[in-house]
Structure 1
Amino acid sequence: MMDMSMGMGLLPSQQMRASPALIALNNMLVLSNLELQQLVSQEIEDNPALEQLDSDDSLCMRCGRPMSGATCIYCLHEDLRLAEAERDDSSGVPADDEFDPLLAIAAPVTLQESLQRDLHVSLPNEDHGIADYLLGSLNDQGFLEDEIEIIADILKTDIARIERVLHKLQELGPPGVGARNVQECLLIQIDRYERIGVSNPYIQRIVAEHWLDLGEHRYGAIAQALGISYDDVVAARDFMRQHLRPFPLERGSENNSPSDTTFLIPDVVIRDEGDHLEIEVVESRRFYLRLSPIYQDLTQAVTVGQEQVSTEEREHLRTFVSRARLFLTNIRQRRETIRRIAEYLIERQEAYLRYGVRHLEALTRAEVANAIGVHESTVSRATANKYVQLPSKQIVPFSHFFTASLSIKDVIQELVSNEKLPLTDQEIVEHLHERGHDVARRTVAKYRAQLGILPSTLR
């Protein structure tokens, strides 16, 4: 358990270093909902000055509100409203095709279905069959069981193409899914963490180049081979134990199987309120924490001299109350950071949220960071491993909002589908410019090829 009792500070030298408090906040930002709940449970167990308020009602895992028995009335009403609106907007519906309210309740989404949807959005149509085959080849732990060469032979395509689709699967899925062995699974997770600024300087080389030595605990041999200290190797091992897992889907037992039912739980819910879009950071409803009133009152009494305690008791109070306050502050800052990012996404991507993927704007994490006044790595950490529920009820990863090429490809597909005469790449560039996408002709040619669209002279 990390010690978060220390305050923020600078070393006497001119070089600024991250304080323990900032490190604790950064570590908390990157956690998924499940990991945060585990951290909260552990902190409550370790720190008597921190309390979780009890709730008589269980909370909906989808929206975070109190449930009535096994049903979330809020989600049910919202689903009924949307279904009714869709029925009113539809035409040609047979009179006997009556609306069944039970069908409006969100159906469970399997991991395989979720990945299939994301892969089909991200890949050209001709690669969808490969993606589906790869998904079907995942075992219950998330590993790819079939050899790439065998898959290529079965599908009558080249190995490089299979590798390209597999890489996309590994990129979109839970960290490690699609790996062919434990070593590759760990390397994928290390790469994911490095992208968001969570890393150890030696872990990648140790896992990639000294896998057998690591498994047999030959830390001295690893240190000598890499020219580092024994303690450096131990620190890398501790990083692996804290952040990595050997099986992509080991958490949650069989329910994480690609063929079994799993739920994507949103961290942020965006609702269409007609004239505006409204956001909610869902985790704020999932648990309620506070500084223990007993510890708070006792600390106050000791401070003003109303209560006499021993030096050891005073140190106990100071340590655990400071630690609890820091933990509560970091929880609030985490929620506030996620909220500010979501608000900016609404501002920049409102058309997409209302009208669909063709209106997805080109957006970078750096732009978001500049707009809300934080470092780009903060945005990366705050959006990692987190999901957003759109007004349409679709749940997408935060990274979905930063996929500029997805929107451009979609527009290219639309332009070509509706062309009267074949459009040249330069003409497509001009159409894209009119829609706010400034891309080079060679980029259009690349995206066109990825979509399987022939040049204008051959269409």
Structure 2
Amino acid sequence: MAMMPRMELRQGQSLVMTPQLLQAIKLLQLSHLELQNFVEGELERNPLLERDDGADPPAEANGADGPLAADAESFARAESLNTLEGMEGRLGTSLDNVFPAEQPSAARSDAAGTEMLPVIGGSYGSSGGSFEEGAEGFESSLTAELSLHDHLSAQLDLAVSDPGDRIIGRHLIDAVDDSGYLGEPVADLAARLGVAVARVEAVLAVIQGFDPSGVAARDVAECLAIQLRERDRFDPAMQALVANLPLVARRDFAALKRVCGVDDEDIADMVAEIRRLDPKPGRAFGGSAAETVVPDVFIRAAPDGSWLIDLNPDTLPRLLVNQTYHARVSKSARSDQERAFIAECLQTANWLTRSLEQRARTILKVASEIVRQQDGFFAHGVEHLRPLNLKTVADAIGMHESTVSRVTSNKYLTCSRGVFEMKYFFSAAIAATGYGEAHSAEAVRFRIKQMIDEESPREVLSDDAIVTRLKAGGIDIARRTVAKYRESLRIPSSMERRREKVAMALGGR
């Protein structure tokens, strides 16, 4: 067959991932903190974007290109309850005004009642004091928490005088994590500094004598051994006990007595001594700041039994496109390059505001469907959590599964039962015995924990016994599944639990 070039005309469909579409997809899966950082970067790069301070924007700020402001409060007022029409059961439809911002102050205080959820955070200056009243400024209350690194460095300057050893000590302290353990092998650190391992070991021995006791240890056994030596309690029997910490964790006192060569009373005293030690000596000092989870959606119960779903305006950036500035700089553009830059900035700004608005709408839609599907959970608790997958929610709201997956990633909702990640409500199904309705895996996990918490020392439930009880309750589950759920809850086996309960009973006597 001869090969020759030729021209053909074909018609087909393909999805073109434009930069704007990629940006919209990226915004969906960002948490509110990541979204704030992204918006801050866009504000720095794009001169046409400006932050909405909450005041009424000038007429020039809105052009003919569509919605240019992603106002979280007005958007939430327009969408919070409209998406809930047609919900069955407890999830009724309420057309009343449930937004405090549109009610008089007296009505807001009465409508809130005891069911209003507190908004995480708060406004600045809410403490009631002011500079005019003679109160001290907030600078006087700012304190710097002492870090473990600084605490060890101060002791190093006093304990070590040799400059070379001080450098080694600095590197060792830098390798200590927030829990107080040495996170780098001594051999690697010695090779990196070009010194002998014995010299690094000698400096490490000095640091291990610093406060807090047990710091700069390489493992738990060494940490406990350092603390026991300082208490003069590291005798041969205690050495054997520290060398067999897995037996202590399993509460295998019979094996511990054989290893340590002591009787029942001595092994009880030794284990009690171990428990009084601190396995994480560095946690008393300031580490990395913990981030508070801020919910993206508020779920509240209405007086008529329906659910009120509001977006959290604090997690939604509000941006405006400055059309006045755009008109001014467009007239002063001197070259095609400048005009192209201005046009690109306008297009990017318009697309970003639309993408933020679409992101908020999508979060509200997904959250509303989750509430509709998991009405039993919000009304009665985790035992009534239903099996749910991404496809069910995606089909209900007319979106793709991948979109729902992105929306529920790193997003949280708060209700009267606490703060939950949206993915928490997607749970696998456990078949029911007979022709009953399937059970949620999370609800089954809760039942297993409840059974184990209620067991007595004389009747510790094995995995087989838990399976029998669950099947009697209409849940068809295998033993290996029960074991997997129990391990995910960090609950020890029945044998370990029996030993622990017996030890506690003997200790109570």
Q: TM-score, normalised by structure 2?
A: 0.44
Q: TM-score, normalised by structure 1?
A: 0.48
